[in-house]
Amino acid sequence: MSEYVAPLRDIRFVMQELADGAGIGALPGCEEATPDVVDAVLEEAARFAGEVLSPLNRIGDTQGARWHDRSVTTSPGFKEAYRQFVDNGWNGLGCDPQFGGQGLPHLVSTAVSEMWKAANHAFSLCPMLTQGAIEALMIAGSDAQKAAYLPKLVSGEWTGTMNLTEPSAGSDLAAVRTRAEPVGDGTFRVFGQKIFITYGEHDMADNIVHLVLARTPGAPEGVKGISLFVVPKFLLAADGSPAERNDVYCVSIEHKLGIHGSPTAVLAFGDHGGAIGTLVGEENRGLEYMFIMMNAARFNVGLEGLGDAERAYQRAVVYARERVQGTEVGVRGGPKVPILRHPDVRRMLMSMRARIEAMRAIAYVTAAAQDRAHREPDAAARSKAQAFAELMIPIVKGWSTENAVDIASLGVQVHGGMGFIEETGAAQHLRDARITTIYEGTTAIQANDLIGRKIAREQGATIRSLIAEMRGDVARLNGSLADLGARQAVAVDALERAVSWIVERFSGDPKGVHATAVPFLHLFGIVAGGWQLGRAAAIAQARSDAGDGDPFWPAKIATARFFAAHFLTQAPGLADVVAAGGTGLLEIADEAF
C-alpha cells in the first residue's frame, strides 16, 4: 500500500507565487521566515508526514481508539508519534514566541498542516483542537490563565478541546444547558454533558485543557447567556504541574464511519460534586470567544478536506499507473495498457487534480491574508486583508470539504471494484472525508454565514472588490491563454449576477435566498478556484515563454484549462440556480415529504 508523499513542488509554487511568500516574510514579526528556513521546515515536515504519520493512518483506521473504564487508549503508534511531534517542536510552529512558539507565519503553518492532514487525518485532529484553544486563550484569557496553560499548550505537552454541543442541542448552541455555579475567587463548578468532543480523552498528553460553554445562574436565555470556562482534566498544583483529577470523565466514545484513530468523546462534567473551572473573559460572552476557536477550526477543517483529497488522488494515480487492463482506445490490436491511458480514467484523475490545486491555492492565499490582517503596519491594509480572509473562510471550509467527498469517491471509482475492498485503502479516504462537510458547521451553515454576514450585511462590498481584482487578472490571460481568459470572464460575470441578486433580495426574501445559499457557495468556490488556477497558468506561460523547459509549467496550464472546461462552465448554470431561489423547494407542503 502506497504512503503519502508531500507535493512539495506545488506547495512551494503556491506559497511563493500565488500567496506572495516573499511579501509575507517581509512583514513585521516574520523576519525569521527566510526562504532557507521555510524550505527546511517544509522538507522536514514532508519527511515526518511520510515516514512517521502516514504508516499509522491505516493502523488508526483498522485499530481505532479504544474506551475502557472512563479512559481512552489511542491506536498503536499514535502516542509515540505524538511524542516525536512534540519533541520536534511542530505544535508551536506558528505560535507566539512569548509562550514558547516559533512565530512563523500562518502561511507556513498552513502548508505544514496540510501535510499532517493528508498523511493522517485522525492524528492531525489532536493538534488542530489545541491550536484553537491557544487562539481563544491568547485573545480572551486572563494573564493567570495564559501563564498557567499557554506554555504547555504551545509546546503540545498538554492538548486542548472545544466543548460546544450537547445531546439536545446539535448546532443550536442556544439550547446549551450545561451550568456553571460560582464558588468564589473566580472559580466555578461545572455540571453537564458534552458530546462530539474530539480528543476529549486520550493517553497522548499529561493534561487535557477543556474549553467549555456553560450558563451561569441568572444568565439570559439563548446565545447571549453562554459563558466560556477552562476546565482541565487535572487541576494544577502550586508549581503549575498536573495534580488532582478534576470531575470530568469520558463516559464513552463514538463508533464512527471514519477517522477511527481520533477518539470522539462523550464527556460528563460534575457527576461527583462539580468540575472545577475558571471563567474566560466576561460572563455571557462565551459564544463570541468560542467563535475564535470556531473560525480557526473551520479553516483547518478545510485543510482536512484538502489533505484527504490529495491522499485519495495520490493513491488513485499509483493504482492507475500499475493496473493494466484493456487496450488503448483507437489502437486496434494493441497491447494491454495501464488504465491511466483510458480517457475516462484520465478525466477522473484530472477532475481530482484540478480541484485539489484550486483548493490549495485558495487556502494558502487566505492564510497569507490572515498574516497580513495581523501584521501589516498600515491599518487600512490590515482591515482589507481581514475582510478578504473572513469572506474566503466559508469557501476554504465548505467548498473544499464538499470537493473532498467527491474526490475521495472518484478515487474509489478509479480503483473499480477493488476500490470497494478495504485492503486497497481507497475507501478509508472517502469515509474519513465524509465528516469534514459536517465538522464545525455543516456546508449550509458555512453558506448561510457567507451570504448573510459576509455579503448581505455589507451590501457585497468585499466580494465586489474581489470581483474587480479577478477581472484584472482575467485581463492578463491573452495570447495563447485567451481561451482560458474567455471562460473565466463568463464565470466572473455569473458570480457578479448572483451577488447582485443576493444583495437585492436578502432583506425582502430571506427564505428564498437561503434556499440556494449552498449552490452560491459552490459557484463562488468554482470561480475563486478558476481565478487562482488562471493566475498560475499566466505565471507558467511566462516561464515557458522565457525558455524554461520544466514540465511543471505546461502541466499547470493544462490543469487550468481542464478546470475551466469542466468546472468554470458550470458557473452560469449555478447563477441561474441561485436566482431561482426557493422555486419548488418552498412551495411544496411539509406533509408532502
Are 256 and 125 found together in one domain?
no
Q: In 323-378, which residue ranges form alpha helices assigned H by DSSP?
A: 343-375
pLDDT digits (tens, 9 = 90+) for 129-140: 999 999 999 999
Among the listed residues 114, 166, 440, 496, the single catalytic one is: 440
For the domain that residue 251 is a member of, what is the CATH number?
2.40.110.20
The arithmetic mean of pLDDT across residues 273-290, rounded, is 93
Of the three residues 90, 122, 155, the one that is the final residue of a domain is: 155
Query: Do 480 and 500 lie in a common domain?
Result: yes
- The answer to the question of residue 240 being in a domain is yes
389 burial level (CB within 10 Å; 0-12, 13-18, 19+): buried
pLDDT score at 290 = 81
Same domain, yes or no: 23 and 110? yes
Average pLDDT, the chain: 95
Domain co-membership, 111 together with 137: yes
- How do residues 317-376 score in pLDDT, each as one tens digit? 999 999 999 999 988 888 999 999 999 999 999 999 999 999 999 999 999 999 999 999
Does residue 149 share a domain with residue 19?
yes
Position 176 scores a pLDDT of 79
- Shared domain check, 176 and 138: no
pLDDT the model gives residue 293 = 73
Residues 202 and 94 in one domain: no
Whether residue 414 lies inside any domain: the answer is: no
Q: Quick one: pLDDT band at residue 174, thresholds 50, 70, 90? A: low
DSSP code of residue 173: G
Look at residue 404 and tell me if it is in a domain: no
Q: Which amino acid is at 463?
A: I
**Domain assignment of residue 337, yes or no:** no
Q: Which residue type is seen at 291?
A: F
Give residue-wise pLDDT tens across range 197-237.
999 999 999 999 999 999 999 998 888 899 999 999 999 99
The three cell numbers locating residue 11: 506547495
Percent of the chain, pLDDT > 70?
99
Tell me, yes or no, if the pTM score tops 0.85.
yes
pLDDT single digits (tens) 19-77? 999 999 999 999 889 999 999 999 999 999 999 999 999 999 999 999 999 999 999 99
| 440 assigned to active site | yes
26 & 119 share domain: yes
| 69, 319, 322, 331 from 334: Cα distances, Å | 63, 21, 18, 5
**Cα separation of 319 and 322, whole Å?**
5
Question: Is 422 a member of any domain?
Answer: no
**Res. 169 pLDDT band, cuts 50 70 90:** low
145 and 23 assigned to the same domain = yes
Q: What is the pLDDT of residue 271?
A: 94
| pLDDT tens digits, one per residue of 282-320 | 999 998 888 777 888 899 999 999 999 999 999 999 999
Q: What average pLDDT does this structure show over 550-573? A: 98
The per-type count for the chain, helices as H runs and strands as E runs, is 20, 14
Q: What is the mean pLDDT of residues 188-197?
A: 96
Poorest-confidence range of 284-293, 299-308, 474-483, 499-508?
284-293
Q: How far is CA 561 from the centre of its chain?
A: 26
Residue 284: count other Cβ atoms within 10 Å of its Cβ: 18
Is 42 inside a domain boundary?
yes
pLDDT tens-digit profile of 75-121?
A: 999 999 999 999 999 999 999 999 999 999 999 999 999 999 999 99
Identify the CA nearest to 280 among candidates 171, 187, 178, 164: 187
Q: Which pLDDT band, with edges at 50, 70 and 90, does 172 fall under?
A: low
If DSSP codes are grouped into helix, strand and coil, which group holds residue 277? Answer: strand
Predicted pLDDT at 296: 84
Q: How many domains does the chain have?
A: 3
Q: What is the CATH number of the domain that holds 35?
A: 1.10.540.10
Dihedral angle sign, alpha carbons of residues 523, 528, 532, 534: positive
> Buried b / exposed e across 315-325, counting CB within 10 Å, b at 16+?
bbbebbeebee
| The domain boundary residue, chosen from 261, 284, 307 | 284
Tell me what pLDDT residue 344 has. Answer: 97
C-beta separation of 171 from 311 below 8 A: no
Please give the grid coordinates belonging to residue 24: 509575507
Structural domain including 554 reads 443-587
The predicted pLDDT at position 75 comes to 98
Final residue of a structural domain among 237, 259, 284: 284
Give the list of residues 6+ apart from residue 336 with CB closer than 8 angstroms, or none: 324, 325, 326, 327
Residues 63, 111, single domain; the answer is yes
Does 305 map to a domain? no
C-alpha 103/C-alpha 30 separation (Å) is 7
Examine the domain organization and report whether 165 and 223 are in the same domain.
Answer: yes
Number of neighbouring beta carbons within 10 Å of residue 429: 32
Q: How far apart (Å, rounded) are the C-alpha atoms in residues 413 and 194?
A: 38
Residue 141 lies in a domain: yes
Same domain? For 577 and 457 the reply is: yes
Give the pLDDT confidence score for residue 84 in this predicted structure: 98
Q: How confident is the model at residue 581 (pLDDT cuts 50, 70, 90)?
A: confident
